[in-house]
Amino acid sequence: MGRILSGRRNLSDEQRMMLDSVDGLMAKYDEAYWGKLDRESAYPDEFVRAMEKQGLAAVPVPKEYGGPGLGVLDASLILEEINAMGGNSQPFHGQYYLLSAISKFASAEMRERYLPKIAAGELRLQSLALTEPEAGSESTRIKTSAEKKGGAYVVKGHKVFISRIENSDLMVLVARTTPYEKVEKKTEGISLFLVPLENIQGMESHRLEMMFNSQTYELFIDELKIPGESLIGEEGKGFRYLLSLLNAERILLSAECIGDARWFVEKSVEYAKQRVVFGRPIGSNQGIQFPIAEVYAKLLAADKVRTTAAELYDGGAEADAVGEYANASKYLASECSWQAANVAMDVYGGSGMAVANHIERKFRETRLFRVAPISNNLVLSYLGERVLGLPRSF
C-alpha cells in the first residue's frame, strides 16, 4: 500500500484485503506501464481486464445481481490506491459512478438485464454522454433531443469530451425529451438512457487529442433509434438522477486527487531526502520542506472531507446534504493534488520535467480535476449560493 496516509486510517480488514489486491495488480502495472501508455496514447486494456478478472471493476453492483455491493467509500479507496501507486484511474473510473444510476433508478428489468453481466466483467459501462459544445458547465442547456416515436426514441445532437466510447459496451446518454424553452423549471424535461454501443447506427465518434492520455471523443448523433426500454427511470426526471450520479462522481474523483497528492508527496519526500545540493539534502532547506509539509496538511483535510461525503452518500442522505460535502471534497482534493504536483515539480527541479520520473505525466493528468467533471468555479458557486445562501449570479 502507498506509504503516505496508509498507517493513519481506520480501515477494516476487508478494506485492507481489497487494497492489498489492488497493490498486487499495481506491482505488475507499474509506473513504467502507465508511462508507456501515455507515450502511445493507449487504453490500459490489460489492466482493466485484470481488474475485471479480480472482481474489482464492478464493486458497486449490488449483491443480488452478483456484485460485492460495495459503497462509494470503498470504491473511492480503490481509485485512490491506483493513483497513489503511480497509475491513472481515469480510463476506468466511469463504471463506478454510472452503476449507481442503474442500481438506484433503473427498472427491475434493466437491472436484471445488465447488472449481472457487468458484475461478471462481460459488459462495460464506462461512458457518460452529457457535455455538449454549447452546454458544458450549464448542463440544463443541452440540446440533444430524444423524441418519442411509437415505442422508440429518435435522438439527434452533438456531444463533446465524452470519455471511453471505444472502450465501453454501454453509455448513459443524457438528452432532452422536452426542449428547454417548453419547461417551467430548467431541470425538467431531461432524460437518461442506457445505450448499447456495439454496432451503433446513427452515431459517429471522433477521438480528440488531449494534453494527457485520455480516451475522449466528440459524438455526432443523427437519427439514432433507441428502444423505449432504454429509458432509465421516468421520462423527464433525469436531472434528479444525474445529481445523485454526479455527487458519486465528485466523491470518486476526489479520491483520485487524494491518490495523486499522496504520490506527489511521497515522491517529493523521497527525492528531498536523497538529493544533495550545497553539501546537504535539499529537504533540510525550509524552502523545500515547508511546501511539502503544507500540502501534506491539506491532504489530511481533503481525505477527511472525502470520507464524510462518501459516508453521507452511502448512508442514503439527500442529494443536497451529500452535495455540500461532495463539492467541498472535490474542491479541496483537486486544489490539493494540483498544489502537490507543483511542489513535486519544484522539489525535482529539472528532473521533474524528465519523462522517466513520471512527475510531468502525473502533473498533466491531475490538472484535469480542477476543470472536470465540474470546474472549481462552479463548485464555489454551488457552495456560495446553494449552501451559504449568497445572492445568485446566474
- In this complex, which beta carbon is closest to ligand FAD, that of residue 68 or of residue 136? 136
DSSP 64-90: GGTS----HHHHHHHHHHHHHTT---T
Overall residue count recorded for the chain in this entry: 394
Q: Which residue has the cell 502537490?
A: 340
In the bound complex, what is the minimum distance in angstroms from residue 97's beta carbon to ligand FAD?
10
* Nearest distance from C-beta of residue 386 to ligand FAD, angstroms: 13
In terms of CB distance, is 371 or 383 closer to ligand FAD?
371
Closest to 24 (Cα-Cα) out of 5, 43, 47:
47
Judged by beta carbon, residue 91 or residue 291, the one nearer ligand FAD is 91
- In the complex with ligand FAD, which residue's Cβ is closer, 193 or 296? 193
Hey, is 193 helix, strand or coil? strand
Give min distance, CB of 90 to ligand FAD, in A: 7
DSSP 278: T
Other residues' Cβ atoms within 10 Å of the Cβ of residue 199: 5
- Which is nearer to ligand FAD, 5 or 174 (by Cβ)? 174
Binding site for ligand FAD (CB under 6 A): 128-131, 136-137, 161-163, 210, 214, 216, 368, 371-375, 377-378, 381, 393-394
Omega before residue 373 within 30° of 0, cis: yes
Q: How far is the CB of 20 from ligand FAD (least distance, A)?
A: 30
Nearer to ligand FAD, 4 or 326 (CB): 326
Shorter beta-carbon distance to ligand FAD: residue 131 or 334: 131
| Closest by Cα among 380, 377, 379, 368 to 161 | 368
Q: How far is the CB of 373 from ligand FAD (least distance, A)?
A: 5
Q: How far is the CB of 110 from ligand FAD (least distance, A)?
A: 21
26-65 burial: b if 16+ Cβ within 10 Å, else e? beebebebbbebbeeeebbeebbebbbeebbbbbbbbeeb
| Residues 91, 216: Cα–Cα separation, whole Å | 10
We find the least distance from the C-beta atom of residue 394 to ligand FAD, in angstroms, to be 5
In the complex with ligand FAD, the residue whose CB is nearer, 8 or 392, is: 392
* Shortest spacing between CB 175 and ligand FAD, in angstroms: 12
Distance of CA 253 to the CA centre of its chain: 4
Of 18 and 128, nearer to ligand FAD (C-beta) is: 128
Cα maximum dimension of the chain: 79
Q: Which residue is nearest to ligand FAD (CB)?
A: 136
The upper half-sphere exposure of residue 363, i.e. CA atoms within 13 Å in the direction of its Cβ, equals: 18
What is the dihedral sign for C-alpha 35, 39, 44, 45?
A: negative
Q: Which of 330, 284, 338 is nearest to 310 (CA)?
A: 330
Q: How far is the CB of 91 from ligand FAD (least distance, A)?
A: 11
Cβ closer to ligand FAD: 167 or 177?
167
Query: How far, in Å, CA of 354 to CA of 373, rounded?
Result: 29
Q: How far is the CB of 87 from ligand FAD (least distance, A)?
A: 16
Cα 337 to chain centroid distance, Å, stands at: 14
